[in-house]
């Protein structure tokens, strides 16, 4: 049997320490990349954010921790997902090459790919298709956000050719 450590993540989603309990020497009150405050629990229900998974006698090497998008206890979206969705919306707001209904579709799909559901892959494909109508700068930035917020399945479809 193993157990989860607690993760310390800044409000913008930078992982500060995924072993908050077992390696407290790496804890920081603020993020050294963006200056935002750091949190270790869900702002809504105060459940600790799951960090590294420890298995007795096993040392995980080279494992890359990504912070969760949603709280497993209350379903609340973490602040970094909200911020990413807001940035995506701002990007679309300044792009004049696509219409409002395509923009709404893109934002909706962006939300869907942050969750692992039967619709994840379809929405990743929608993003790939519709985002092509964006200006090329906006396209690159939008896909980058999508890859950041997307689940593993979504990342694969977004990056696949």
Residues within the interface to Zn ion (CB under 5 A): 10, 12, 14, 31, 33-34, 36, 42, 44-45, 47, 71, 73-74, 76
Say if CB 40 and CB 7 are below 8 A apart: yes
Contacts of 93 (CB under 8 A, 6+ apart): none
Contacts of 96 (CB under 8 A, 6+ apart): 135
Name which of 12 and 27 has its Cβ closer to Zn ion.
Answer: 12
Shortest spacing between CB 68 and Zn ion, in angstroms = 10
Name which of 14 and 128 has its Cβ closer to Zn ion.
Answer: 14
Shortest spacing between CB 45 and Zn ion, in angstroms = 3
Residue 6, number of CB atoms within 10 A of its CB: 18
Name which of 79 and 150 has its Cβ closer to Zn ion.
Answer: 79
């Amino acid at each position: 049997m193993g157990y989860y450590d607690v993760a310390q993540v800044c409000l913008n989603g930078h992982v500060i320490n995924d072993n908050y309990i077992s390696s407290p020497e790496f804890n920081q009150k603020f993020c050294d990349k963006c200056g935002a405050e750091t949190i270790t629990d869900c702002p809504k229900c105060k459940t600790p954010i799951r960090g590294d998974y420890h298995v007795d006698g096993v040392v995980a090497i080279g494992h890359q921790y990504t912070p969760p998008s949603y709280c497993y206890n209350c379903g609340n979206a973490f602040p970094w997902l909200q911020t990413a969705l807001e940035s995506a919306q701002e990007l679309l707001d300044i792009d004049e090459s696509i219409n409002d209904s395509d923009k709404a579709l893109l934002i909706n799909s962006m939300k869907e790919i942050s969750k692992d559901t039967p619709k994840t892959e379809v929405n990743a494909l929608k993003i790939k298709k519709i985002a092509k109508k964006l200006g090329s700068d906006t396209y690159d930035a939008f896909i980058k956000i999508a890859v950041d917020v997307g689940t593993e399945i979504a990342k694969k479809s977004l990056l696949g050719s």
